[in-house]
A and B are shown apart, each in its own frame.
Chain A
Amino acid sequence: MSENATDTVFEVFRQERKGQPFQHAGSVLAPDLRFAEIYAREQYGRRQESSALWLVRRDAIDELSDFPDEFDLKYRRVDGYSIKARLKEARERAGTQPS
């Protein structure tokens, strides 16, 4: 791929059907928004797989990636609780076994 200094990465978000959330589909490299629209349309829309696309310049996206947890507050995490034993207990009480 030839990358010109003027080329910009546009992130493409795709909505499969009206009303559904937009999900990240990929990106296109293009000299400007008009080229990006053409490229996104052909790459993510030509098979009728999208009802709408969002194009966002990558440099317009604000990324957060630092989430400190210095004191190991594992009760705040989804993996903080083991429910296996309690589930077994509950099943025994109810008289059902996992299939």
Chain B
Amino acid sequence: MPERSRADLLLELADDELVIGWRNSEWTGIAPFLEEDVAFSSIAQNEIGHARALYELAAEELGSTADELAFDRSPGDYRCAPLVELRRLEWAWTVARHWLYELADELRLERLKASGDPAVAGLAAKMDREETYHRLHADMWVTRLLSVREGRLRLDEALDGLWPFALGVLDEELRPELRRRAEARLGRELPDVDPVARGDHVGELAELWEEMTSVRRSAPAGAQW
């Protein structure tokens, strides 16, 4: 694992969860059908809940607050992976991203649950209990799309398109295992490509940041709900 501080590692995770939660919530009200709308929105809310817990842990160390970390940094300071930054994708691509992200997140959480840092290991275990249902949800969609020809074509195209981004969620040492698990589940090979790694941002992050931080910037002392 590349050398980085505990706080940096927590911020990577927190930013991933915040931004994927934000992006997935872009389906609220317009998901393919009502049940999915409720379920996918609820999953998005869970991810944002995970982000808050991670920011709180980082904030203790940095002498900051979760809100400051989530909303007061400039877009360039976010550490999220480009996979989660992409603006709302077509449904098959959304399912592909959701599934790839959960698969990568599972690997990452397995590592963190075994961490010698009890606060990190404990939080990872708590998150993982909710992520279990996210993975179930993503995997059911993969099964469903693969079961018909049109679904398979669309999902395969999306998975191939997003694969370099998925690799970029994880550190180099975990990427071969991500590939192994993904290929075993899909029963086919994924493209041999360079990862779109963490560190660079896609242009769509700045636009998301504008929206995500607008309330905070309009009421810096804290909005009352």
- Measured CB to CB, the residues of A under 8 A from B are 1-2, 28-31, 34-35, 38-39, 41-43, 46
Contacts and interface: CB of A to CB of B under 8 A. Distances in A.
Give the secondary structure class of B's interface.
Answer: helix
Contacts of B35: 28-30, 35, 39, 43
A46 B32 CA distance: 21
Interface in B26-65: 32-36, 38-39, 42-43
Contacts of B39: 38-39, 42-43
Interface stretch (B103-111, B136-144, B186-194): B136-144
B33 A29 contact: yes
B38 A43 contact: yes
Contacts of B32: 2
Given A38-B140, A41-B133, A1 B34 contact: yes
Interface residues of B, number: 14
Contacts of B137: 38
A34 B42 contact: no
Nearest to A45: B42
Contacts of A30: 35
B160 to A, nearest CB: 25
Contacts of B36: 39
Contacts of A39: 35-36, 38-39
A39 B35 CA distance: 6
A34 B137 CA distance: 9
Given A39-B39, A46-B42, A34 B140 contact: yes
Nearest to B137: A38
B167 to A, nearest CB: 28
Contacts of A2: 32-33
B85 to A, nearest CB: 25
A43 B40 CA distance: 11
Contacts of A29: 33-35
A12 to B, nearest CB: 11
Nearest to B40: A42
A42 B33 contact: no
A72 B38 CA distance: 48
A1 B33 contact: yes
17 contacts: A2-B32, A2-B33, A29-B33, A29-B34, A34-B140, A35-B35, A35-B140, A38-B39, A38-B133, A38-B136, A38-B137, A39-B35, A39-B38, A39-B39, A42-B39, A43-B38, A43-B39
